[in-house]
Amino acid sequence: MTEEYKKYTVRHAPKSPVVKDTLRAFLCGGALCAAAEGLKNLYLFAMMSRDDASLITSVTLVFLAVLTTGLGVFDSAARFAGAGLLVPITGFANAVAAPAIDSKTEGYVLGVGAKIFTVAGPVILYGTVSGALYGAIYYLWRIFS
């Protein structure tokens, strides 16, 4: 029964337009990065140090991602741009803001507080664990090599 079902789903599942999606993600991600560089240059033009301009650029991108998430625009843009919009810092900001906005009606403690990191939490956890593991392996490699 399960083999029949697998064959059925393969036959009836819509084909993914991989080339179109990849090109769209590449172009949109590149446009986002170019806009971020332009923003950083604008901050540099305002006589900020390079470190401050980079920091304020990241903060601006997070703010804009959260704002567009709240306005309901980010999801439409992400559906179009795919990974080009979701992979950078903007996708992480959306992953934190969206559950918080969705659970606002349940209250600040049991809604927003409890669910704000439902999507981003695993990313933080496994990113931290992976970084610590990599650091330990690198440390041991340096000792024994």
Q: Report which residue type is found at 47.
A: M
CA distance 85 to 88: 7
CA distance 144 to 89: 36
Q: What is the dihedral of CA 62, 42, 24, 78, to 10 degrees?
A: 20
Q: Report which residue type is found at 138.
A: Y
CA distance 85 to 106: 29
Convert the pLDDT of each residue in 86-124 to its tens digit: 877 888 888 888 888 878 788 878 888 888 878 788 878
What ranges do the domains of the chain cover? 17-144
The pLDDT value recorded for residue 65 is 94
Q: Report which residue type is found at 29.
A: G
Task: Name 60's Cβ contacts closer than 8 Å, sequence gap at least 6.
Answer: 39
